[in-house]
């Protein structure tokens, strides 16, 4: 049985201005300009540039009728230009040089580069189509992983070309002579051999041994079983094998990795903050791109003056003024959101600098303190989600490089003395221990745990393994050298 009833509930909703602010806060500096341009295009009441001098008002203010605001009327006082919204610039403005267009590097795609080389092979029409199909099958890392029989079928169904796996492979062999070396290989073993073939002049012993290792001892090589390689090659000379292996590890396992897979514009990193050390005093500024000059349109405010002097019973005029009011509201909201964005960015970054002051003075990773989002949120009396939005997509330029803000947030590890140290400090120590280890007898994770415990860091073996993996350092067996 259905019933009708009234329920009273309390709901919290974000205002349009709050939504505007949240969206703008998570936009990085590189995208802010396009976001502002989009708003300028959509809202004629919003303008960019410095504030112009106001024209003299020759009207007699005493003769102007008083504006008795009602629900149907608009108060022009809300929309007259004032210092809060007109052509403002916030703290953190940079030099004019910062406003210049950032250079954007352009690069030819891997596919285009290979197609250009294909044109020089002098192929007939059928061979050219096969070559084009093969190049189209090359993945972004430079490998062809599709079976040749599958490519034969593709050519038959999509191009109407009858061919064989042998004919396709013959064209593939010619494509494998293209640059970059190792391109169009079907697996790592073939990729390394293709690169060694380019280096083989018939006189280099290391290249000859390297080719033998890849063809006859590839499984042992991938597992770093160097003694088995020596045995298989029937040699007792460690240097003989070591030099060849050093040559192999210098080869490129991903020949397509250095080329762009599509014609895209890659913009250089644009830092959101600039932090400089001025004789031991840290000075923080916003990138000037975060401080645009925006103002409300003078012509739109003039419309309200005209409306204030006109017959307010004119229905068409009232509709026009309502439209203008909506645009002015949106312009004021946007300017205020930009202004609030700047203030929030600076407050958050200042708190991070204060928290990690020792690190920012010298750039020493071991000076980083454990820091979580809640620490900064408490310092600036803001919600954790706000700090998260700032930290997720922003970066700071320092005297020793550009860092994403996420870099400074890390969990803590307790020491014997009861102090909390940053996990980044522990990672740095792990890296230093591994860098200085005897490569013929590399440390296992258990040994690393014991060394760290001896240094006073209370850390478990599984945590050591996690940090080692985050540093992209392989296990001890794969670090072993002869």
- The pLDDT, as a whole number, for residue 43 is 81
- Asked if residue 290 and residue 339 are part of one domain, the reply reads yes
Distances in whole angstroms, Cα of residue 174 to Cα of each of 118, 119, 185, 194, 196:
9, 12, 11, 12, 16
Q: Where a domain ends, among 193, 220, 249?
A: 249
Asked if 286 and 345 touch (Cβ cutoff 8 Å), the reply is yes
Residue 215 falls inside a structural domain: yes
Is pLDDT above 70 for 410?
Answer: yes
Q: Indicate the DSSP class of residue 370.
A: P
- What is the spatial distance between Cα 308 and Cα 68, in angstroms, rounded to a whole number? 10
Q: Over pLDDT 90: what percentage of the chain?
A: 8
Cβ neighbours of residue 200 under 8 Å, at least 6 residues apart? 207, 208, 211
Residue 3 falls inside a structural domain: no
Total number of domains constituting the chain: 3
- What is the spatial distance between Cα 363 and Cα 365, in angstroms, rounded to a whole number? 6
Of 16 and 317, which is predicted with more confidence? 317
- Asked if residue 245 and residue 114 are part of one domain, the reply reads yes
Residue 263 falls inside a structural domain: no
Q: Over pLDDT 70: what percentage of the chain?
A: 73
- The pLDDT, as a whole number, for residue 372 is 85
Q: Where a domain ends, among 214, 249, 284?
A: 249
451-475 pLDDT per residue, tens: 888 888 788 888 888 888 888 888 8
- Asked if residue 391 and residue 295 are part of one domain, the reply reads yes
Domain that holds residue 220: 110-249
Residue 4 falls inside a structural domain: no
pTM beyond 0.75, yes or no: no
- The pLDDT, as a whole number, for residue 350 is 93
Q: Where a domain ends, among 409, 443, 467?
A: 409
Of 226 and 289, which is predicted with more confidence? 226
171-195 pLDDT per residue, tens: 999 999 888 889 999 998 899 999 8
354-396 pLDDT per residue, tens: 999 988 988 887 788 888 888 899 999 988 888 888 887 788 8
């Amino acid at each position: 049985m259905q019933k009708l009833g009234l329920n009273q509930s309390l709901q919290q909703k974000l205002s349009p201005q709050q939504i505007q602010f949240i969206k703008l806060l998570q936009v990085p500096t590189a995208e802010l300009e396009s976001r502002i341009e989009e708003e300028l295009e959509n809202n004629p009441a919003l303008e960019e540039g410095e504030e112009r001098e106001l024209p003299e008002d020759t009207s007699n203010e005493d003769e102007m009728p008083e504006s008795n605001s009602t629900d149907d009327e608009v108060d022009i006082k809300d929309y007259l230009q004032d210092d809060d919204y007109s052509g403002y610039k916030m703290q953190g403005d940079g030099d004019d040089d910062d406003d210049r267009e950032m250079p954007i590097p352009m690069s030819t795609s891997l596919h285009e580069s290979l197609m250009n080389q294909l044109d020089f092979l002098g192929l007939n029409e059928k061979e050219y189509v096969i070559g084009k199909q093969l190049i189209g099958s090359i993945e972004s890392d430079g490998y062809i992983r599709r079976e040749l029989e599958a490519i034969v079928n593709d050519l038959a169904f999509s191009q109407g070309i009858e061919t064989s796996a042998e004919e396709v492979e013959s064209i593939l062999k010619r494509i494998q002579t293209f640059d970059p070396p190792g391109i169009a290989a079907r697996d790592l073993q073939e990729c390394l051999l293709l690169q060694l073939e380019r280096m083989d002049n018939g006189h280099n012993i290391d290249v000859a041994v390297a080719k033998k290792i890849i063809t006859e001892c590839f499984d042992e090589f991938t597992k770093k079983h160097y003694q088995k390689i020596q045995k298989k090659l029937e040699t007792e000379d460690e240097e003989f094998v070591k030099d060849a292996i050093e040559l192999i590890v210098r080869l490129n396992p991903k020949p397509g990795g250095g080329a762009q897979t599509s014609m895209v514009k890659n913009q250089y990193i644009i830092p959101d903050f600039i932090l400089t050390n001025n004789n031991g005093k840290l000075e923080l500024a916003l990138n000037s791109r975060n401080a645009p000059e925006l103002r409300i349109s003078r012509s739109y405010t003039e419309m309200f003056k005209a409306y204030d002097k006109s017959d307010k019973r004119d229905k068409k005029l009232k509709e026009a003024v309502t439209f203008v009011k909506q645009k002015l509201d949106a312009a004021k909201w946007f300017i205020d959101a930009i202004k609030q964005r700047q203030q929030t960015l600076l407050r958050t970054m200042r708190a991070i600098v204060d928290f990690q002051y020792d690190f920012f003075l010298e750039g020493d990773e071991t000076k980083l303190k454990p820091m979580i989002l809640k620490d900064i949120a408490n310092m600036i009396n803001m919600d954790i989600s706000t700090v998260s939005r700032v930290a997720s997509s922003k970066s700071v330029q320092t005297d020793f490089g550009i860092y994403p803000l996420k870099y400074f947030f890390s969990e803590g590890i307790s020491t014997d003395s009861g102090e909390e140290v940053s996990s980044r400090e522990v990672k740095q120590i792990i890296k230093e221990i591994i860098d200085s280890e005897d490569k013929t007898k590399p440390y296992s994770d258990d040994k690393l745990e014991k060394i760290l415990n001896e240094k006073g860091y209370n850390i478990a073996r599984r945590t050591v393994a996690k940090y080692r993996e985050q540093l992209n350092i392989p296990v001890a067996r794969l670090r072993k050298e002869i």
